[in-house]
Amino acid sequence: MPLYKTISPNSQTTVKIWKITEPFDVLLSELELKPESLDRVLGMKSELHRRGFLSIRYLLRAFGYQDSDLFYDENGKPHLKNGKHISITHSFNFSSVIISDKPVGIDIEKQRNKITVIAHKFIDYEFNYLDENAPDYIKKLTTIWCVKESLYKLFATPGLSFKEHCLVIPFSDNSAETTAWIDYNSMKSRFNIQSLEFEGFTCAYATV
């Protein structure tokens, strides 16, 4: 069960992406889970969610961690017991984990036309540089969503709005890097953004 991709955007940060191909029973049989994790995954109704949950544990193992090293705070943000920063994501048959010495956030999304229906809910400033008639409009919307979801996971503050508080600077031509800002309660924070596409999916991650 090989990793799909490993990326090291800087010396302190590593991203690992997993392509989920195995059935749930096979994934479960090779893992050692905490009782609460086992109860959680067995209680999931969606097979996709079950497999995504377990694939994250395989990614943890690829980093040298166990399920017991991971815990969540009251806001649902994941943490590692050794103090390293972590963010996790899964979408359909892909999952990813990013681990760093500094705060990070990551998101994977499948590129789908229906994102145009909700664009007005998460985009404001970005409409200034988007072209609805461009052939890559869906991809750009998906990237912006991934960036803002990554910022939301990194910031982990209740009340943060994708549309009102998160701003994504346009990517330069043929570039996979940009910057983004969170403007929240008179506090402005700048973040480094990187993105990539594969097999109809978009992944973006935010670092400080």
Indicate the pTM of the whole model.
Answer: 0.94
Looking at residue 75, its pLDDT comes to 83
| pLDDT score recorded for residue 139 | 96
How high does pLDDT run on average in the chain? 95
Task: Please give the average per-residue pLDDT across 109-135, as a whole number.
Answer: 96
**Average pLDDT, integer, range 10-37:** 94
Residue range 59-82: mean pLDDT, rounded:
94
> Could you report the per-residue pLDDT of 149-207, keeping only the tens digit for each?
999 999 988 889 999 999 999 998 778 999 999 999 888 999 999 999 999 999 999 99
Q: Return the exposure string of 150-159: e unless at least 16 CB atoms fall within 10 Å of the residue's CB, then b.
A: bbbbbbeeee
Report d(CA 208, CA 206) in Å as an integer: 7
pLDDT digits (tens, 9 = 90+) for 40-58: 999 999 999 999 999 999 9
Place of tokens 């705070």: 73
Residue 181 near residue 187 (C-beta atoms within 8 A): no
Q: Which amino acid is at 8?
A: S
pLDDT average, residue stretch 52-78:
94
Domain with CATH 3.90.470.20 in the chain: 5-102
- Looking at the predicted structure, is the pLDDT value of residue 1 above 80? no
Share of the chain above pLDDT 70, in %: 100
Give the angle subtended at the CA of 195 by the CAs of 156 and 147, to the nearest 5°: 30
Class of domain 5-102: alpha beta
Distance CA 17, CA 59 (A): 8
